[in-house]
Structure 1
Amino acid sequence: MGDNVRQASRSFDSRMRHSNQAYLQGGAPHDAHPPICRRIGFVLLEHFSMMAFTGAVDALVTANLVSRQPLYRFETYSLEGATVRSDLGINISVDAELPALDAKDLDILIICGGFRSNLEPRRPVVDKLREVARRQAILGSLWNGSYLLAHAGLLDGYTCTVHPDSRAGLEELRPQVRLLPNPFVIDRDRISSAGANSALGMMLAVIRHHHGDEMVRGIEEILACDRTLDDLPDSPMPTLVDDPTFPDALQTILQLMKNNIEEPLSIEELALRARISRRRIDRLFQRHLDTTPSRYYLETRLTRARRLLQQTNEPITSIAIACGFTSAPHFSRCYREFFGVSPSQVSARHRRG
């Protein structure tokens, strides 16, 4: 299959961009202005859930990595003192005590509770939470942090969620709050997560609202290594755009492409195997992926090559052949056209560690 690199605009233009966004050199052509960097504060209660906290922070940090420009900065606060003990018995140093928080340009404040956290806030804490609310920042909670927001009357008329162990107490404390048994809930400018595992999902939903599906797909691919073996060098190429709503014919073509990386099929061969016309393939890719089949296939192979360069010590010539390129020089030209760096530069960085 011919590789029409001249179609490239030094950037991935199909939905596969999310898989490569962190590795593209320079900003996207349409990024005329730097993105807004949102400020997020985490209030760590004594015995807070370390897993919930790190899940939420991991989403933010990974968003910055995928973007290559800072989208989020976070700060940590205690109710009192320079350190807070987590539920794992690990002391975490914080940036400041909550009463000292300057809420002037704060975008989100999240209360991170835990199974043994004290949920009876003192007056200065309630006053600070109300001040943050008056400045129209988003207020959120992890585990049972909703309890403190409810104490301050900041969840009246909202829906939220809380850890099941705190549900009965919150219902009794504040019947004006509508509790849902969901893993996480987003209701206007209130966000809440009921446990450790759902904290990541909640933050991904927030990031999706700010930056769209493409950004979240990029984050999920980096963080999903414990759910799939697709990223291992000797495994098949992952289907980066799996979508059950795609027509069967398109899913068949995508599967054929995924299974034929080393010896790419021509578009005519793909059409023959899928028993559809070449013209219909073109229409399917344009309608559902906003690209051409040749372009998508090339992007698939280059994405595979990027992974092999980063994860193995194989020679560039071997990687080129494994990804269906007829020669190392041809592969290098294609790779540089899309990523802005040569395969040898990527390989050298990998070997230096």
Structure 2
Amino acid sequence: MTESQTKRTFSTSMRDTNSPFLPDGKQVGTRPIRVGFILQEHFSMMAFTAAVDAIVTANLVNTTPLFSFSTYGIDQSTVRSDLGIDISVNDTLPHITLEGDNGLDILLVCGGFRCDINQNPALNSALKSAARYKLTLGGLWNGAIALAHAQLLDRRHCALHPDNHAYMQEHFPDAILSDQTWIADNQRFTSAGPSSALEMMLSLIEGLYGKDTVRAIREILSCDKNNDSENNQITQTRDNPNLPDLLRELLQLMNSNIEEPLSIDELAGCVNASRRRVERLFQTHLETTPSRYYLELRITQARRLLLQSNESIANIAVSCGFLSSTHFSHCFKDFFGISPSQARQKHRSQES
């Protein structure tokens, strides 16, 4: 099968990278899931932004918004974070909407190292009301303590910052304290810190929208994830330690030869392997053929240059190994549903 005959759908790894730009991205017929964050005084800014980052990125990797979010102070319009930065919230607890088209679906309490862990009547009342409306409830850092005060963690597993374990065990024996960094138990999501807040939210998102959405989010957020290596290089598909060394070497060769693509036989010769073995590696580990992956890699590089630079379409075509700008335009439209010039115009209109 020649390149021009290849079906223009991305394989798994490249689909995640390109998902925000695909015409057949996941469409959601209902309104976005509404998430509310209750910010306690001295809340952990890192935990809060990690959780928000997950849902904002979920929107970026889909063609329609999956989430909206709002923030609430207990009784004030500005809340001070643990960094001493004042955050203006959307509203206060008495004005949380729990029903109707504008009602919340998820409500999370954002705690922090210096947050007051004593029972707050207003917060208690808001959480109990949310539970009556069957909202998914959660806590970041020590936000689980507020849920425990409202008796919403009785016989439920929960995660909590280690500094607060003794308090939880002493005051809430009916809550099942976990040693895990985050945990989900029957519409209760709790996490112990910033990194676990992100993982908790990704788990929640996966339950709502599936693994493909979470894979696409990780593609954006995990480029600098620490893999216990001795360097601090950005990680990409070719750096995946779970892939065979030979395949990683092939992926590196492809990445290094975008402008003048190597043939599959040339790639095989560079790594002293047979063409058949190369094809088998790609099919087994990436669920695609080497030629298709190479084309997707080049069209993805072209899409990035198209949307992130003012380079001419003709120059982009050449720099990404296409025979002509016409050939490039046809390939691009096959994958993304619109021409390169239309994609650039659409992107710029969205930014303005």
Could you tell me the TM-score, scaled by structure 1's length? 0.83
Please give the alpha-carbon distance, in whole angstroms, between the structure 2 residues aligned to 1:258 and 1:219: 22
Deviates more, 1:33-42 or 1:190-199: 33-42
For the residues of structure 2 that align with 1:149 and 1:326, how far apart are their CA atoms? 61
Does residue 222 in structure 1 map to residue 220 in structure 2?
Answer: yes
Kindly report structure 1 stretches of 4+ aligned residues shifted beyond 4 Å: 224-228, 345-353
Q: How does 1:22-41 map to 2 (within 5 A)?
A: 22-24=20-22, 26-28=23-25, 34=29, 37-41=32-36
C-alpha change, 1:109 and 1:347, in structure 2 (3 Å) is closer
Q: Does 2:299 correspond to 1:266?
A: no
Deviations 1:183-234 (A, max 9, x none): 3222332211222343223212222332233322322333346669xxxxxx
Structure 1 residue 14 corresponds to structure 2 residue 12 = yes
SS in 2 for 1:169: helix
Secondary structure in 2 matching 1:15: helix
**Secondary structure of the residue that 2:237 maps to in structure 1?**
coil
Change (3 A) 1:19 1:241: farther
Aligned partner of residue 252 in structure 2, secondary structure? helix
Residue 255 (structure 1) aligns with: 252
* Preserved CA contact (<8 Å) 1:43 1:109: yes
User: Taking structure 1 as reference, are residues 221 and 14 closer, same or farther at Cα in structure 2, changes over 3 Å only?
Assistant: closer
Match of 2:197 among 189, 196, 199: 199
Q: Which moved more, 1:58-67 or 1:85-94?
A: 85-94
Q: Find out whether 1:212 has 2:207 as its counterpart.
A: no
Greater shift, 267-276 or 200-209, is seen at 267-276
- Greater alpha carbon shift after TM alignment, 337-346 vs 320-329: 337-346
- Partner amino acid, structure 2, of 1:201: E
The residue matched to 1:314 in structure 2 has which SS? coil
Indicate the larger mover: 65-74 or 279-288: 279-288
RMSD, matched Cα: 3.1
Code of the residue aligned with 2:12 in structure 1: it is S
Code of the aligned partner of 2:55: L
Match of 1:188 in 2: 186
- Could you tell me how far apart the structure 1 residues matched to 2:28 and 2:307 are? 30
Output the CA distance in 2 between the equivalents of 1:346 and 1:148: 47
State yes or no: 1:288 paired with 2:260.
no
What corresponds to 2:314 in structure 1? 317
Unaligned runs of 5+ in 1: 229-235
List per-residue Cα deviations over 1:62-84 (Å, max 9, x = no partner). 11111121111112222213332
Code of the aligned partner of 2:263: S
Look up the SS of the partner of 1:92 in the other structure. Answer: strand
AA of the residue aligned to 2:297: T
Q: Which residue of 2 aligns with 1:231?
A: none
Cα contact 2:182–2:190 (8 A) shared by 1: yes
Return closer, same or farther for 1:184/1:328 CA change in 2, 3 Å cut-off. Answer: same
After superposition, give the CA deviation of every residue in 1:168-189 in whole Å (9 maximum; x if it has no partner).
2122111233333443222332
Q: Which has the higher contact order (CA 8 A, sep 6+)?
A: 1
Q: What is the rounded CA distance, in whole Å, between the counterparts of 1:84 and 1:275 in structure 2?
A: 61
Single out whichever of 150-159 and 93-102 deviates more from structure 2: 93-102
Q: Provide Cα deviations, 1:238-271, integer angstroms capped at 9, x if missing partner.
A: 7436544444544443333223222212222233
Q: Secondary structure at the match of 2:61?
A: helix
Distance 1:325 1:265 in 2: 12
Partner of 1:63: 58
Superposed counterparts of 1:42-121, under 5 Å: 42-104=37-99, 106-121=104-119
The offset of 1:149, in angstroms, is 0.9
Query: Kindly, what percent of the aligned residue pairs are identical?
Result: 49
- Report the CA distance between 1:347 and its aligned residue: 5.0
CA distance in 1, matches of 2:171, 2:264: 64
Pick from 167, 174, 177 the counterpart of residue 175 of structure 2.
177
Contact 1:15 1:241 in 2 (8 A): no
**1:116 is matched by which residue type in structure 2?**
R
Instruction: Find the aligned partners of 1:5 and 1:42 in 2 and give their Cα distance.
Output: 49
What is the distance in 2 between the residues matched to 1:156 and 1:60?
28
